[in-house]
């Protein structure tokens, strides 16, 4: 909505005629306060909308990153390797030092 200079002057003259020059400053203050409140309310609504639309997106991105990291860290062979190492270390016991062993070891 664009107003030309002539239209703005016509509106100003109509306001002066309707309300009088005495009330003009009060009307201008009230109008300014109303415009400020309206802008503040619009900014609040805009901020809330941005928060609500941004949160799910960033949450999903975090979850995707977490899954990617877990996929990088996942190595199914590592568990098998750990088990194999544990078995080897068990079987390599020094039987001479172990009194529990009941085998063909003589002392």
Position 53 scores a pLDDT of 74
The percent of residues above 90 in pLDDT, for the chain, comes to 24
Angle in degrees, 0-180, between the axes of helices 24-73 and 5-19, rounded to the nearest 10:
120
Domain residue extents for the chain: 12-88
- Summarize pLDDT for 28-79 with one digit per residue, the tens: 899 899 999 999 999 999 988 888 777 777 778 888 999 988 888 877 777 7
User: Which one has a higher pLDDT value, 105 or 64?
Assistant: 64
Q: Is 60 exceeded by the pLDDT of residue 9? A: yes
User: Which one has a higher pLDDT value, 46 or 95?
Assistant: 46
């Amino acid at each position: 909505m664009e107003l030309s200079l002539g239209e703005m002057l016509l509106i100003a003259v109509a306001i002066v005629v309707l309300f009088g020059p005495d009330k003009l400053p009060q009307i201008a203050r009230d109008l300014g306060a109303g415009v400020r409140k309206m802008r503040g309310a619009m900014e609040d609504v805009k901020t809330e909308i941005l928060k609500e639309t941004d949160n799910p997106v960033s949450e999903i991105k975090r979850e995707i990153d977490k899954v990617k990291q877990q996929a990088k860290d996942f190595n199914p062979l590592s568990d098998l390797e750990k088990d194999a190492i544990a078995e080897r270390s068990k079987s390599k016991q020094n039987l001479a030092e172990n009194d529990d062993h009941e085998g063909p070891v003589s002392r």
